[in-house]
Structure 1
Amino acid sequence: MEPIIYLDHAATSWPKPPKVLEAMRKAMDEAGANPGRGSHRMAVEASRVLYGTRKMLADLFGVNNPNDIALTSNTTEALNLAIKGYLREGDHVIATMIEHNSVRRPLEYLKRTRGIQVEYVAVDEVGQLDLQLIERAFRSNTRLVVCSHSSNLLGSIIPLMELGRIVKEKGAVLLVDAAQSAGMLDIHVEDMHVGMLAFPGHKGLLGPQGTGGLYISPYIELEPLMHGGTGSQSEAIEQPTVRPDRYEAGTPNTIGFAGLRAGVEQVLEWTPQQIYQHEWELTQYLMEGLQQINDLRLLGPGLGIARTGIVAFVSERYSSSELAFRLDREYGIAVRAGFHCTPLAHMASGTAQTGAVRASVGMSTRRDEVERMIEAMVEIHS
């Protein structure tokens, strides 16, 4: 494959650290059996891989008991488990206008089938949330508040510490979608009063696709999303009650989770603070360059304001799909175009009819690659 400038880290981080590939290869060779389904050495080693991954994630997110982390195939599965497993008929839910379809669609499904009530609190044009609007949205039957820690379109960041305090005082549960923040922003579930945290393995945690997880507070019980074999309590008709088995039916992606463990280990070595600083400097540089192009409008918080490594924009001269196509074919630059599975955020930013181009950086992104992106956009608009 020809060299590529990869600016699509908000979808999947790439390339993966060498230790991720090494861990997956080692697990395939030495732990390629079913975890929890046998007492032979390979099965035991597979179980160790999964527990080691949970332990590493617990260290990153401030989780006291690693078994409160259910391993999933992605953030979408984690969010479905949290939303469908927690909400009951007649419950009221507060969400925001920056939610991904992984939140919105399960909520709308339960609205149709279970009679839950959903309120989407407005954000401003750049994705900032007024916490007073959240407070005013509470009702007597509000059981859940769902929010994206950072918008996958605008890069804006929700103040989790303050939001968690409000939700706790109101007696509800806070579910956080950390798809764009896990590994890049500090998250401590105890300090931030996070009841459930859904996260991907393949983005900021640097693991392979097909991995993710859900932290579930020990004070919360969910109905399982899936029922089936777990290797424990096999004589019982019902799904086991012990964690994490209750939420992990079927053979897991042990090889993938071995890679995730290595990815999280790399994140802990670099630290989220260092990762955020690297991405922050690159996004500021990219924004400064793109702002010089008259026909572009940048989305999300302005220069100098906190944001994750996402810079989305629209052009007055070209559609988002045409821009992304030309960047790929003419310049070898990978970005994403369209609606990014977040129509609510497009409504907030005024791009519901046009979509947007999204460039997103990661720890592997170099300054000269960002400079090439700026030069390409200047040439296209010249």
Structure 2
Amino acid sequence: MIYLDNAATTLQKPPAVITAVTKALTQLGNAARGNHTGALTANRLLYDTRLLVAQLFHAPLPERVVFTANATEALNITLNGLFQSGDHIITTDYEHNAVLRPLYRLQSEQGIHVTHLPLSPDGPIDYDAFAHAVLPNTKAIVCTHASNVIGRRLDLYRIGAIAKRHGLLFIVDASQTAGSVPIDMVNLGIDVLCFTGHKGLMGPQGTGGLCFTEQVDIRPWCVGGSGTHSFSPTQPADYPTRLEAGTPNGHGLAGLNAALRTVLTIGPTKIGAHEEHLCRLFYEEAASLPHITLYGPDLRQHPHEAGSIVSLTIDGVDSGRVADVLARRYDIAVRPGIHCAPRMHQALGTQASGTVRFSIGYYTTEEDVRAAIAALRDIVD
């Protein structure tokens, strides 16, 4: 298979990840729930993995690295644990439903007010609009680091500066950039960073988390077993236990630990450069084909905006049909449809057809890209 669906999940994992998960299945006990070797091994693994996450993202405190099943859970914990009735939140039309749906529910159930900043299909977002949208009751800016539809990255430094100037929390969904773009929470002014382990970090599914600063206090979204303070009727107040009810995914986190070590060894800059090179190559070749519409930044004119995603449509052909032909006839894996980003597709005018998304990963090769272009040429012909 030629795998070009890395924005959904990485199929090809570093060998160390597979080894770590396999080893953990026979050695790990339950963290914080015993003093035998298996439990202590799990304790040490979780703490070491928190240190690695903090190192990668320059998170200030490892105890404020909380593990979750994915970025969606991390965002739900964050958004449900920080805001209350009457608060105002600024977000964008770039967002995934992992941001949008929790905000919609907070609107309907808690009376939260939300402003969605529009985007231009042909250009970057208007950064001045963030400051113009601030109201007396505004509490936070919540945004993705990069669109999962067109790959365009937002300038977190500019947005973080606006948030700091107005005394707002800055919450970032790094699902599409963690592992392939350097992220420094301190330098960028990020208060809460939510990430997933199974995309650019190349770890197992069922892993992810959030990192947050000492100034942020998050109410528990889920409560239950913690292994400590068992007679207390409320969730323990100390982090990370406060936000990690129940048995952690130790086996998955063993894989994430190995994945983080791999990413830190290679370096996000090198990983990102590889993906950006192949993304530009794909875009340039696809742009020469007739009957194809490409979405997002024109990488021929703005090569510095290349990420790892190219979305396109073929005139008169449903995106699902294109993906089906690519899979069955050419054994090429892509993602068709709306990609859980409805407001983005409304802005692009693709809400009816969706797009065909080609997403590059660290294990993608130039041969893979050229084979995908050849397949597209066949389909167009």
Q: Is the shorter-chain TM-score for this pair beyond 0.5, marking a shared fold? A: yes
Alignment-derived partner of residue 352 in structure 1: 351
AA of the residue aligned to 1:326: V
The answer to whether structure 1 residue 216 and structure 2 residue 212 are counterparts is yes
Alignment-derived partner of residue 27 in structure 1: 24
Shift of 1:321: 0.5
Distance 2:129 2:325 in 1: 41
Alignment-derived partner of residue 227 in structure 1: 223
Alignment-derived partner of residue 55 in structure 1: 51
Shift of 1:235: 2.0
Runs of 4+ with deviation above 6 angstroms? none
Distance 2:101 2:283 in 1: 32
Distance 2:304 2:319 in 1: 25
Alignment-derived partner of residue 10 in structure 1: 7
The 5 A counterparts of 1:6-155 are: 6-31=3-28, 33-126=29-122, 128-155=124-151
CA contact 2:314–2:380 (8 Å) conserved in 1: no
SS of corresponding position for 2:152: coil
SS of corresponding position for 2:171: strand
Alignment-derived partner of residue 204 in structure 1: 200
Distance 2:316 2:95 in 1: 28
Segments of 5+ residues of structure 2 without an aligned counterpart are: none
CA contact 1:126–1:156 (8 Å) conserved in 2: no
Alignment-derived partner of residue 291 in structure 1: 287
Shift of 1:307: 3.1
Shift of 1:354: 1.4
Distance 1:44 1:206 in 2: 26
CA deviation map 1:98-149 (0-9, x unaligned):
1000100000100001001000001110462111011100001000111010
SS of corresponding position for 2:116: strand
Alignment-derived partner of residue 332 in structure 2: 333
CA contact 2:60–2:213 (8 Å) conserved in 1: no
Distance 2:353 2:317 in 1: 10
* Bigger shift: residues 72-81 or 186-195: 186-195
- Relative to structure 1, is the Cα distance of residues 127 and 88 closer, same or farther in structure 2, using a 3 angstrom cutoff? farther
CA contact 1:180–1:308 (8 Å) conserved in 2: no
Shift of 1:68: 0.5
AA of the residue aligned to 1:216: F
Distance 2:164 2:21 in 1: 40
Which of 160, 164, 171 is matched with 2:160 structurally? 164
Shift of 1:217: 1.5
Distance 2:184 2:123 in 1: 23
CA contact 2:59–2:212 (8 Å) conserved in 1: no
Shift of 1:317: 3.0
Segments of 5+ residues of structure 1 without an aligned counterpart are: none
SS of corresponding position for 1:215: strand
Distance 1:200 1:176 in 2: 12
Shift of 1:305: 3.8
Per the normalisation by structure 1, the TM-score is: 0.98
AA of the residue aligned to 1:21: I
* Bigger shift: residues 87-96 or 350-359: 350-359
Alignment-derived partner of residue 178 in structure 1: 174
Alignment-derived partner of residue 372 in structure 1: 371
AA of the residue aligned to 1:357: V
Shift of 1:5: 0.3
CA contact 1:127–1:156 (8 Å) conserved in 2: no
Alignment-derived partner of residue 256 in structure 1: 252
Distance 1:166 1:318 in 2: 42
AA of the residue aligned to 2:97: N
CA contact 1:147–1:176 (8 Å) conserved in 2: yes
Alignment-derived partner of residue 271 in structure 1: 267
Alignment-derived partner of residue 189 in structure 1: 185
Shift of 1:345: 0.7
Size of the aligned set, in residue pairs, is 378
Distance 1:141 1:127 in 2: 30
Report the identity percentage.
Answer: 40
Alignment-derived partner of residue 307 in structure 1: 306
CA contact 1:184–1:204 (8 Å) conserved in 2: yes
AA of the residue aligned to 2:7: A
Shift of 1:64: 2.3
Distance 2:318 2:208 in 1: 33
